[in-house]
């Protein structure tokens, strides 16, 4: 009986040795290299960019998952933003880095409303923005949003005049800490934050934005003639 017990114990020990954990299965040097690349990057990196800098065969998704787990309780966390990865200060410690300084420029109410409409209704044309706001939209309003890098021309509608369509940029997602436009706050979150009445008007619907081309939308070609593409409507 003692011999059998020892044999069972030996088998159990060997099984434990031969079954490495997920963490130990990762190449520790690959993990260090991925960590260094993310820390040194001045902007978020996608998995393709990381894979290009890491040795061939590196398991990039597993490395990122491991780093995210290791840093989740530290002063900096690894976040996925706009389909890319970046180390950022832990949200609960952000107050330590906040500095009081004069505000150089603020967006006008018209620009904020236009930005919200573009974010939630993209792809959207200028005429559609005006229809939602109920007032005319000046070219300067759209230009201001494009100048700070939050809005871009993304395509054009297959309608008479071929008007351009607008959408948000990766910089917009990074600025507001969003993984994609699908992660914009919904009606429940907006209501909890006080942006919607507890009992919103009947029929109010929060649209589902997308960064994919719509069925009636063509991609925008840089350098096309303004008059031929419908940009002339932005007056």
**Cα–Cα distance for residue pair 164/151, rounded to 1 Å:** 12
Indicate if the pLDDT at residue 172 is higher than 70.
yes
Tokens representing 41? 């990057």
pLDDT at 140: 86
Angle between helices 126-133 and 109-121 (to 10 degrees): 110
**Cα–Cα distance for residue pair 225/235, rounded to 1 Å:** 16
Q: Give every strand in the sheet of 151-157, ordered side by side.
A: 164-168, 151-157, 217-219
pLDDT at 48: 92
Domains and CATH numbers, the chain: 24-95 (1.10.10.10), 109-233 (1.10.10.10)
pLDDT at 103: 57
pLDDT at 53: 93
Indicate if the pLDDT at residue 7 is higher than 60.
no
Position 194 confidence tier, pLDDT thresholds 50, 70, 90? low
**Cα–Cα distance for residue pair 7/16, rounded to 1 Å:** 14
Query: From the DSSP assignment, how many helices (H) and strands (E) are in the chain?
Result: 11, 5
Q: pLDDT digits over 107-138, tens only?
A: 888 898 899 899 988 888 999 999 988 888 88
pLDDT at 205: 56
Tokens representing 64? 């990122």
**Cα–Cα distance for residue pair 226/174, rounded to 1 Å:** 30
Q: What average pLDDT does range 94-107 have in this prediction?
A: 71
For the entire predicted model, the pTM comes to: 0.56
Spatial neighbors of 89 by CB under 8 A, at least 6 apart, are 75, 76, 77, 96, 97
Q: pLDDT digits over 13-55, tens only?
A: 655 544 444 445 789 999 999 999 999 988 899 999 999 999 9
pLDDT at 217: 79
């Amino acid at each position: 009986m003692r011999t059998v017990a020892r044999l069972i114990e030996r088998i159990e020990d060997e099984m434990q040795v031969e079954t490495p954990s997920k963490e130990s299965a990762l190449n520790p040097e690959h993990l260090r290299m991925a960590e260094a690349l993310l820390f040194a990057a001045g902007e978020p990196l996608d998995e393709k960019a990381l894979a290009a800098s890491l040795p061939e065969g590196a398991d990039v998704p597993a490395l990122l998952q491991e780093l995210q787990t290791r840093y989740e309780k530290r002063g900096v966390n690894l976040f996925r933003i706009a389909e890319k990865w970046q180390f950022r200060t832990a949200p609960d410690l952000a107050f330590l880095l906040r500095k009081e300084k004069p505000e150089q420029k603020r967006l006008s109410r018209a620009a904020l409303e236009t930005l919200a409409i573009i974010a939630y209704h993209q792809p959207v044309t200028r005429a559609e923005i005006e229809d939602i706001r109920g007032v005319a939209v000046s070219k300067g309003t759209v230009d201001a949003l494009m100048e700070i890098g939050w809005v871009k021309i993304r395509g054009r509608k297959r309608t008479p005049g071929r008007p351009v369509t607008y959408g948000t940029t990766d910089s917009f997602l990074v600025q507001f800490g969003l993984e994609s436009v699908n992660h914009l706050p919904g009606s429940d979150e907006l209501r909890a934050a006080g942006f919607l009445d507890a009992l919103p008007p009947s029929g109010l619907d929060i649209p589902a934005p997308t960064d994919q081309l719509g069925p009636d939308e063509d991609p925008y070609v840089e350098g096309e003639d303004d008059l031929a593409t419908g940009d002339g409507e932005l007056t």
